[in-house]
Structure 1
Amino acid sequence: MTDMTLLDHAEPPVHRADPVTVEIIRNALTSAANDMNATLIRSAYSPILYEGGDCVVALLDTDHQVLGQSAGLPLFLGNLETCSKAVEEKYGSEVWQPDDVWILNDSYLGGTHLNDVTIFAPVFVDGTHVGFSATRAHWMDMGSKDVGGSMDSVDIFQEGLRMGPVKLHEAGRETFIVDIISTNVRFPYQTIGDMNAMIAALRMGTIRMQELVARYGIATIEAARDEIFRQTEALERKTVADIPDGVYEAEGVLDNDGIDLDTPIPITLKVTVSGDTIDFDVTGSADQTRGPVNCGVAQAVSALRVGYKLLISPETNSNGGSFRPLSTQVREGSVLGAVAPAACQWYFSHLGLLIDLVSKALAPALPDRVVAASHGDSMIINTAGTDPRTGRDWVTMEATLGGWGGWDGSDGESALINSVNGSIKDLPIEMVETKYPFRITAYRIEKDTGAPGRWRGGNGATREYEFLADCAVGLWFERSRTKPWGLFGGETGRGPEVIINPGRDDEERLLKANARPMKAGDVIRLTASGGGGYGNVADRDPQAVASDVENGYVSVDHARRHYGYEG
């Protein structure tokens, strides 16, 4: 006879997914995110999206944990969930309804500047809420005081339309928010086109999530999720546990905040390792500034996660099990934890520095994993004006490629985007010259910009523009005070350089400018920093030096001065 008392008190059965199913679901979630990203990029109206890929997408579970995330900007790593959490904290979990779409670009919630817009939607299957589909993309103009964004804003109100979290669609229908957007930005056709591309990506994510639930059932997917998270956490804790316990520190400075050009901004990092846990503390960094170099706490946490992941688990995709060994300490009211009305337009410069500082701090403990400093900043040029060929207004934003640091076993890479921006691509010359009234008269890897070392730093790139029409140019080049440092005897990379009208009587050198007038025929030459070196210069293989000279990475004079080259 069955003992009914025992049955009444028995634990409910635990649903488990077999290893093969776990791997299928793991890869299906990543593939779903990649499908979303492809949908967004192929549907976008702005070159910064369809050519540059300045966007990221993810699928989340109902607890806002990442199930699958596409390649994209590392700086948005584990950051999209803050937006759906913000809705739930404000309105409660019952607010989620089928066919609703939400939007948010608040710098203090999402962490970045107002141009980075997050659009997300709950995913339902047969009336049951099973997760979220989320996207973030850069919109070229948000109605700031200067076209595309200001290099000299002093509060958030000068930086454009600030939204959210609010409903963009309700029950499948557009809300009045769409009209508010279109009447507050300078390029409504392009902006609404990009908005709809993001919504198309959400729909792709919803379809893929619904297909998975239909095939496996939500119980199996949740069991696979738990196993994926468990595996990820276990791998990361093991790596952290192998780091010697202790306190590790590093610091650097930004050049300035774009307003007070003579005052550097200190950024400090203290890393505490204890067993299988690691803590990143940036509370000693500067107070929030008057100029636009501030960011919200969420973005500081994301940058610290990037620095952590580069050392702890670079081979694995991010998910809800990532970063469980990591804790972060960010001070509210600091440059990394800004509060209203702090300006946040160029929020990423100190975050690139912070990512490099993680390697610098942990170099004594992880000499075979760390990397010398990179050029570290996006090195931005904005252009805006009216194209005389069409009579239409235009705005661009481009990053300048720089050098990455050397590491134990390899030279740094040359002419790459900075670590903040990840898989963003530079805009092709053919496209730029077709769409905008200027010519790219030089584009090259700039020799000698990378630092000497046993493993030399990568070189920065030079890009030169000749303007064919009057326009305004914005510049945001950083890291001239804290240049890309070397490790273990490696030397420091060359800093950035911007020259307007090089070789002419009106030649001018500067690193930051806001809406600076340029005349047809004017030229601007941009050179990003090279990376730091790793290891003692005297230990560099002479054959590697000869190869660098032959391939144009290093000049003969540079090779002679630093390496004793005799060729």
Structure 2
Amino acid sequence: MSQIDEIRMQVMWNRLISVVEEQALTLIRTAFSTSVREAGDLSAGVFDARGRMLAQAVTGTPGHVNTMAEAVLNFIAEIPRDQMYPGDTYVTNDPWLGTGHLHDITMVSPSFRDGALIGFFACTAHVVDVGGRGFGADGKSVYEEGIQIPIMKFAERGEVNTDLLRILRSNVREPNQVIGDFYSLAACNDVGHQRLVQMLDEVGLADLKTLGEFIFSRTHTAMMERIAALPKGSWVNEMLTDGYDDPINLAVEVTIGDDNVHVDFSGSSGISRWGINVPLIYTKAYACYAIKCVVAPDIPNNSASLAAFSISSPVNILNAQRPAPVSLRHVIGHMVPDVVLGALAKALPGKIQAEGAGALWNIHISARPEAGAEGRRAEVLLFNSGGMGARPTLDGLSATAFPSGVMTMPIEATEHTGPIVIWRKELRPDSGGAGQYRGGLGQVIEIAPEEGHEFDFSAMFDRISAPPRGRDGGEPGAPGGVALDDGTRLRPKGWQHVPAGRRLMLELPGGGGFGDPGRRSPEAMAEDVRKGYVTGKQP
């Protein structure tokens, strides 16, 4: 390939990324759920005719993007090629074939040009409700957690499956929001297809084969160079998390070979009877993400870069089998990067950040009027983040969603969706672990029902009994806490009640520190005090 041809291919590669970015932005602009519209809890990508991911939108979470890379192959295996038509859109929320729990809807659309299948567009988004017990850990099996949609056609030749919509309306609490999001998902794939065809017309390509081979070959070469530069061997790590009623131990062995990094989760705790289990497809997504953050953060994420990593686990909490409850698979799944990074810290001493809050502090609120009072009912979902661990040369980021990358929902948008008031949302002083570099701060959040209302809420919290650990002499971050404003302590997981007139008080954990606290510069310590990050009092 000549230098001019390589430049041309690189330009088209960049153009392809812009196509999927527009695909993702279409979903954000048209979504009904605040988790998609405000927090960006979604993914979008383009795949070749064999189902290999060519490019992903920058907007999106690793849990969605990396599971989607495998999920598209599951769609292709289920729907025969001779039953795929222009105008089709396929859908599922199967946790083991999609993204790990029922609340995520994955849609895949074949892309045809001049009658020939040239690829697929796929997208995923978290919807506000899927029926069942709601978004929480209380289910004892996946059958209690909501409606299950097998891989099937949402639309065939442009005609929407109205029977599926009727079934959805009868099984969810917020049918207009949910069905609106289904149409948004389908629309974003349509936009991706339209922009791809325009691009191919402009550059004079019939399909994605030539561009795809360029993308995969360049990515593979770059990944092999990065892995070759790593130390070779195996390293282990363990990490304790709160669990539901019993602590959960996560164990990992990371093996770096000549052309592969393998991660094995043998030794982790067994399957829980509560909905915090993780299907392997989701465990893979975050394990690969952790390795890529260290090995090749600047190399585009596609099937070739992911192929350099392999993940295994016996049946346990990180490889839960059907019909285990998995609604809160993100709580344990978001801890996977920290446990993997802990092993890599032994291979690459001094180069890996400390542990952070990890799991999002999601809260699903089911608000209603008090008995005998008038008012409105609503299902409200909030995403909140604790602090990141300190980095080898920088303080940890405060109130930042690592590893998920979702954005904070604006208070105004959240309050608009239901009868709740957020009285306080601010950084939590003294929550970042001390170190040469300080851990990121958590948050303090106060939530109350509007006057004349009460609410039940699903707690999805962790790092309360097992706070984030520091690295290389750094101290742990502050643990989290959940209580009412009268001092009543609440459980970190499960559905609970906030009566009228009371406030729910959340204290989110801070990230661990990095390095000896005695080596922190006087200037940095003075700045912490000036900004109120450190008060000198115990958290």
- Match of 1:5? none
SS state at 1:107 partner? coil
Aligned-partner Cα distance in 2 for 1:349–1:47:
20
- Match of 1:543? 523
Aligned-partner Cα distance in 2 for 1:218–1:254:
51
1:274 aligns with one of 254, 257, 280: 257
Pair 1:141-2:129 in alignment: yes
Aligned length: 533
- Match of 1:320? 303
Q: Please show how residues 105-144 of structure 1 align to structure 2 within 5 Å.
A: 105-144=93-132
Judge conservation of contact 2:138–2:495 (CA < 8 Å) in 1: no
- Match of 2:343? 361
Q: Please show how residues 50-69 of structure 1 align to structure 2 within 5 Å.
A: 50-69=37-56
Could you list the per-position Cα deviations for residues 167-218 of structure 1 after superposition, in whole angstroms to 9, with x for gaps in the alignment?
1111111122222212211111111111111111011011112122223344
Q: Given the superposition, is the C-alpha separation of residues 17 and 164 from structure 1 closer, same or farther in structure 2, using an over 3 Å criterion?
A: farther
Aligned-partner Cα distance in 2 for 1:139–1:220:
33
- Match of 2:499? 519
How far the C-alpha of 1:118 sits from its partner, in A, is 0.3
Aligned-partner Cα distance in 2 for 1:447–1:368:
27
Normalising to structure 2: TM-score of the pair?
0.94
- Match of 1:4? none
Structure 2, unpaired ranges of 5+: none
How far the C-alpha of 1:531 sits from its partner, in A, is 0.5
Q: Given the superposition, is the C-alpha separation of residues 85 and 247 from structure 1 closer, same or farther in structure 2, using an over 3 Å criterion?
A: same
SS state at 1:49 partner? helix
Aligned-partner Cα distance in 2 for 1:253–1:355:
13
Judge conservation of contact 2:439–2:511 (CA < 8 Å) in 1: yes
Could you list the per-position Cα deviations for residues 291-322 of structure 1 after superposition, in whole angstroms to 9, with x for gaps in the alignment?
11112221111011111111112123311221
Q: Given the superposition, is the C-alpha separation of residues 464 and 246 from structure 1 closer, same or farther in structure 2, using an over 3 Å criterion?
A: same
How far the C-alpha of 1:276 sits from its partner, in A, is 3.0
Pair 1:171-2:153 in alignment: no
Aligned-partner Cα distance in 2 for 1:214–1:74:
32
Aligned-partner Cα distance in 2 for 1:244–1:301:
22
Judge conservation of contact 1:105–1:114 (CA < 8 Å) in 2: yes
Normalising to structure 1: TM-score of the pair?
0.90
How far the C-alpha of 1:435 sits from its partner, in A, is 3.3
1:401 aligns with one of 385, 388, 409: 385
Could you list the per-position Cα deviations for residues 313-350 of structure 1 after superposition, in whole angstroms to 9, with x for gaps in the alignment?
2123311221232111122x321222221000000122
Q: Given the superposition, is the C-alpha separation of residues 220 and 177 from structure 1 closer, same or farther in structure 2, using an over 3 Å criterion?
A: closer
Aligned-partner Cα distance in 2 for 1:268–1:93:
41
Pair 1:488-2:472 in alignment: yes
- Match of 1:72? 60
- Match of 1:283? 266
Aligned-partner Cα distance in 2 for 1:385–1:122:
40
Q: Given the superposition, is the C-alpha separation of residues 220 and 166 from structure 1 closer, same or farther in structure 2, using an over 3 Å criterion?
A: closer
- Match of 1:383? 365
Aligned-partner Cα distance in 2 for 1:450–1:53:
26
Could you list the per-position Cα deviations for residues 1-54 of structure 1 after superposition, in whole angstroms to 9, with x for gaps in the alignment?
xxxxxxxxxxxxx99981221111111111111101111111111222211221
Judge conservation of contact 2:432–2:438 (CA < 8 Å) in 1: yes
Pair 1:26-2:13 in alignment: yes
**Identity percentage of aligned residues:** 28
How far the C-alpha of 1:91 sits from its partner, in A, is 3.8
Judge conservation of contact 1:243–1:273 (CA < 8 Å) in 2: yes
Q: Given the superposition, is the C-alpha separation of residues 17 and 174 from structure 1 closer, same or farther in structure 2, using an over 3 Å criterion?
A: farther
Aligned-partner Cα distance in 2 for 1:75–1:529:
22
Pair 1:157-2:143 in alignment: yes
Q: Please show how residues 391-430 of structure 1 align to structure 2 within 5 Å.
A: 391-419=375-403, 421-422=404-405, 424-430=406-412
Could you list the per-position Cα deviations for residues 372-398 of structure 1 after superposition, in whole angstroms to 9, with x for gaps in the alignment?
111011112211123689844211121
Judge conservation of contact 1:451–1:532 (CA < 8 Å) in 2: yes
Could you list the per-position Cα deviations for residues 224-262 of structure 1 after superposition, in whole angstroms to 9, with x for gaps in the alignment?
322222222222222222221111111112212x3xx1x
- Match of 1:92? 80
SS state at 2:7 partner? helix
Instruction: Report the residue type matching 1:88 in the other structure.
Output: I
2:276 aligns with one of 279, 283, 293: 293
Pair 1:458-2:464 in alignment: no
How far the C-alpha of 1:77 sits from its partner, in A, is 3.1
How far the C-alpha of 1:220 sits from its partner, in A, is 7.2
Instruction: Report the residue type matching 1:121 in the other structure.
Output: S
Could you list the per-position Cα deviations for residues 450-478 of structure 1 after superposition, in whole angstroms to 9, with x for gaps in the alignment?
10111110110111112221121111111
Higher-Rg member (1/2): 1
Could you list the per-position Cα deviations for residues 381-421 of structure 1 after superposition, in whole angstroms to 9, with x for gaps in the alignment?
211123689844211121222111111110001111231x2
1:476 aligns with one of 460, 467, 486: 460
Could you list the per-position Cα deviations for residues 533-556 of structure 1 after superposition, in whole angstroms to 9, with x for gaps in the alignment?
111111111111111111111113
Structure 1, unpaired ranges of 5+: 1-13, 560-567
SS state at 2:199 partner? helix
How far the C-alpha of 1:55 sits from its partner, in A, is 1.1
Q: Given the superposition, is the C-alpha separation of residues 240 and 174 from structure 1 closer, same or farther in structure 2, using an over 3 Å criterion?
A: same
Aligned-partner Cα distance in 1 for 2:193–2:300:
20
- Match of 1:8? none
What is the root-mean-square deviation in Å for CA atoms of aligned residues? 2.0
Pair 1:444-2:426 in alignment: yes
Judge conservation of contact 2:355–2:389 (CA < 8 Å) in 1: yes
Q: Please show how residues 334-349 of structure 1 align to structure 2 within 5 Å.
A: 334-349=316-331
How far the C-alpha of 1:530 sits from its partner, in A, is 0.5
Aligned-partner Cα distance in 2 for 1:154–1:218:
52
Aligned-partner Cα distance in 2 for 1:214–1:180:
40
Could you list the per-position Cα deviations for residues 93-138 of structure 1 after superposition, in whole angstroms to 9, with x for gaps in the alignment?
3332211111010112114110101011100001100111111001
Aligned-partner Cα distance in 1 for 2:536–2:469:
23
Q: Given the superposition, is the C-alpha separation of residues 466 and 393 from structure 1 closer, same or farther in structure 2, using an over 3 Å criterion?
A: closer
Instruction: Report the residue type matching 2:507 in the other structure.
Output: T
Aligned-partner Cα distance in 1 for 2:493–2:518:
40
2:219 aligns with one of 206, 217, 232: 232
Pair 1:44-2:26 in alignment: no
Aligned-partner Cα distance in 1 for 2:111–2:374:
43
SS state at 1:548 partner? helix
- Match of 1:553? 533
Q: Given the superposition, is the C-alpha separation of residues 250 and 513 from structure 1 closer, same or farther in structure 2, using an over 3 Å criterion?
A: closer
List 4+ stretches of structure 1 deviating above 6 A.
14-17
Pair 1:183-2:170 in alignment: yes
Instruction: Report the residue type matching 1:365 in the other structure.
Output: A
